Amino acid sequence: MSAFLSVTRAVFRRDLSAEWRQKDVLTTVIMFGLLTVVTFVFAFDPARHAREEIVPGCLWTAYLFAGMLGLGRSAARDGQDGGTVGLLLSPADRGAVYVGKFLSHAVFMLAGEAVVLLFTIVWFDLDGRHLTAPFFLILLLGTLGFVAVGTVFAVVSQKSRLREVMLPVLMLPILAPMVMAAVEGTAIVLTPGSNEGLGEWLKLLAGFDLVFAVAGFLLYGFVLEE
Amino acid sequence: MRSTDRILLTLSAAAMLALCYLVFLYIPLEKTQGYIQKIFYIHVPCAWVGFVAFTVTAIMGGRYLATRDPDHDRWAAASAEIGIVFTTLVLITGPMWARPVWGIWWTWDIRLTSTLVLWLIYLAYLILRQTVAERDRRSVLAAVTGIIGWLGVPIVYLGNRVRASQHPAPVVGGGEDSGLAPIFLATLLVGVFSLTVFYIVLLRARVRGARLEDAIEELQIAEGRDHA
């Protein structure tokens, strides 16, 4: 067990220090996330739509597209700097590697999402009435589900001729239930009044996270070794 | 064609003829929808075969990962290809039925959405197979994708309990009020039987084709080595 944890910790710290030096993934997530939000504002005039109609879709679309590019960058970096080869040469437990990658990707995503959210708060005039505990819970659960799937498919897509195109092609349909639950849940939280129906979406998100985290944990080794 | 396939194909064709007879000449018209309701007897069996086919892809993917037997990968790939064909038929016959009955071609209802998502997932699966050149690597990546993709399907269905649905509830085994008169149910089952057997025939033929393709590829590689 302690060997498992030390592999997880080593992978996590390696990813964080590589990111600290290059800042590729965070730059990708933040810049692309902000640009998606801004594009949304151009596409849907906020003056003509209620906040709860536009913000949930805008935020999650930004997170998804920015996140896919970010995870693609992370996997490409592992391929380029020999990180993957090093991992394959080591006798490290593949499940432990997955957990380490999962955690580092979650940290990158949550950090990038926080920056995008700050701008969104200002641009859409959100305040304490909207940014409640359930709001952040949905954000966390949605992000973990995204990362659980994305950590596996980032590696898969690197091995396809289509590379960065393959990642969204594979991920977006599989993420469909998570996106639906996250957007609907966020809309409920942002709508003034009761949070009726929120529990069902939270359960769906938690179930999604659990199923795909377990699947990723079990299948990541096969993908990594090919 | 082997004798087993000949028998299966004959069975499927006979059932299809019986289905045509039942649908067009025997069973009475549905009271409110009229003729268009008859599309039900091909729409539902196609959806059934699509779901079975993708399930076979996921199971065969798992068996490939466990055994590394290339034949399991061939079964998985063949089943996904056929599943795409039948799911495409579902997505064509659905709107043809919806337009006159609901007044719209499409609605983002959970059953329609989940079928579309399933179709997109296995389309991605086939694209992935096309874009990974090396055979063992392609088989492993496809197996993982086939399994993870399949896991998403029940979760999309869970959304059904949360969102209201315009699509009719399952008429077979969908609760107390559900159920078809025996003759309609029998007709549906004839359709399911015909297309399921047809799926098996296609699957066996496609796997044989894939074995030949791989054998040819190996011969070409060997020949290339001789010339070099």
Q: What pLDDT does B172 receive? A: 57
**Crossing angle (nearest 10°) for helices B70-102 and B182-227:** 140
* Residue A137: exposure state from Cβ atoms within 10 A (0-12, 13-18, ≥19): middle
Q: Which residues contact A142 (CB under 8 A, 6 or more apart)?
A: A60, A63, A178, A179, A181, A182, A205
Chain B contacts of A219, Cβ < 8 Å? Answer: 65, 144, 147-148
Q: What pLDDT does A2 receive? A: 87
B227 — pLDDT class (breaks 50, 70, 90): confident
Q: Which two tokens stand for residue A136?
A: 């952040």
pLDDT 10s digits, A144-192: 999 999 999 999 999 999 988 999 999 999 999 999 999 999 999 998 8
B35 close to B96: Cβ distance less than 8 angstroms: no
- Domain containing A25 equals 2-225
Q: What pLDDT does B157 receive? A: 64
A74 — pLDDT class (breaks 50, 70, 90): very high
Q: What pLDDT does B122 receive? A: 96
Q: What is the ipTM of this complex?
A: 0.93
The alpha-carbon gap from A128 to the nearest alpha carbon of chain B, in Å, equals 27
Interface of A with B (CB under 8 A): 149, 152-153, 156, 159-162, 166, 169-170, 172-174, 176-177, 180-181, 184, 197, 200-201, 204, 207-208, 211-212, 215-216, 219, 222-223, 225-226
Domain boundaries, chain B: 3-25+38-168+177-227
pLDDT 10s digits, B104-120: 999 887 788 889 999 99
Chain B contacts of A226, Cβ < 8 Å? Answer: 136-137, 140-141
Does A84 have pLDDT greater than 60?
Answer: yes
Mean pLDDT, rounded, for A14-20: 94
Q: What pLDDT does B70 receive? A: 95
Q: What pLDDT does B52 receive? A: 94
CB contact under 8 A, B144 and A212: no
Q: Which amino acid is at B170?
A: P
Query: Is any Cβ of chain A less than 8 angstroms from the Cβ of B104?
Result: no
For chain A, how many structural domains are there in total? 1
Q: Mean pLDDT over all residues of chain A?
A: 93
Share of chain A above pLDDT 70, in %: 100
The alpha-carbon gap from B152 to the nearest alpha carbon of chain A, in Å, equals 6
Alpha-carbon span B75 to B210, nearest angstrom: 9
